[in-house]
Amino acid sequence: MNVYDHPTFDMASRQFDRVADYLQIPDGDRDRVKLPKRSLSVAIPIHRDDGRTEVFTGFRVQHHLALGPTKGGMRYHQDVALGEVAALAMWMSWKCALCALPYGGAKGGVACDPSKLSSTELERITRRFTQEIIPFIGPQIDIPAPDLGTNEQIMAWMMDTYSMHMRQTVTAVVTGKPINIGGSRGRREATGRGVMIVCDEACQKLGLDRERTRVIVQGFGNVGSNAALLMHAAGYKVIGIAEVGGGLHNKNGIDLKALADFRQKNGTVHGFPGAEKAETADLLVEDCEILIPAATENVITSRNADRVKCRILAEGANGPTTSAADDILTDKGVFVIPDILANAGGVTTSYFEWVQDRQGYFWKESVVNEQLDAIMKSSFEDVVRYAETHHVNNRIAAYMLAIDRVAYTIRQRGIYA
CB 411, min distance to ligand NAD, A = 28
Among 129, 157, 220, 236, binds ligand NAD (CB under 6 A): 220
8 belongs to the binding site for ligand NAD (CB under 6 A): no
In whole angstroms, what is the distance from residue 146 CA to residue 76 CA? 9
What is the phi/psi pair of residue 347, to 5°?
-70, -30
Strand 237-243's sheet: what is its strand order? 276-278, 246-249, 237-243, 214-218, 290-293, 312-314, 335-337
Among 90, 294, 308, 398, binds ligand NAD (CB under 6 A): 294
Q: Which of residues 314-333 bind ligand NAD (CB under 6 A)?
A: 316-318
CA geometry: angle at 235 spanning 232 and 236, to 5°? 65
Q: Which of residues 148-177 bind ligand NAD (CB under 6 A)?
A: 148-149
Q: Which stretch binds ligand NAD (CB under 6 A): 58-66, 202-210, 236-244, 251-259?
A: 236-244
In whole angstroms, what is the distance from residue 122 CA to residue 48 CA? 10
* Per-residue 3-state assignment (H helix, E strand, C coil) for 44-57: EEEECCCCCEEEEE
Contact by Cβ (8 Å): 239, 251: yes
| C-alpha distances out from residue 51 to 47, 56, 117, 249, Å | 6, 15, 13, 44
Among 123, 160, 200, 243, binds ligand NAD (CB under 6 A): 243
Binding pattern to ligand NAD, positions 175-194, x when CB under 6 A? ----------------x---
Residue nearest to ligand NAD (CB): 221
CB-based contacts of 140, cutoff 8 Å, min separation 6: 69
Residue 160, classed as helix, strand or coil, is: helix
218 belongs to the binding site for ligand NAD (CB under 6 A): yes
146 belongs to the binding site for ligand NAD (CB under 6 A): yes
221 belongs to the binding site for ligand NAD (CB under 6 A): yes
219 belongs to the binding site for ligand NAD (CB under 6 A): yes
Closest CA to 110 of 45, 176, 200, 185: 45
Instruction: Name which of 129 and 410 has its Cβ closer to ligand NAD.
Output: 129
Instruction: Name which of 175 and 410 has its Cβ closer to ligand NAD.
Output: 175
290 belongs to the binding site for ligand NAD (CB under 6 A): no
CB 377, min distance to ligand NAD, A = 18
Q: Which stretch binds ligand NAD (CB under 6 A): 146-154, 271-279, 372-380, 409-417?
A: 146-154
Residues identified as active-site = 107
Greatest extent of the chain over all pairs of C-alpha atoms, in Å: 62
Indicate the helix (H) or strand (E) that contains 185.
none
Which residues here bind ligand NAD, judged by CB under 6 A?
146-149, 191, 218-224, 242-244, 280, 294-296, 316-318, 343, 346
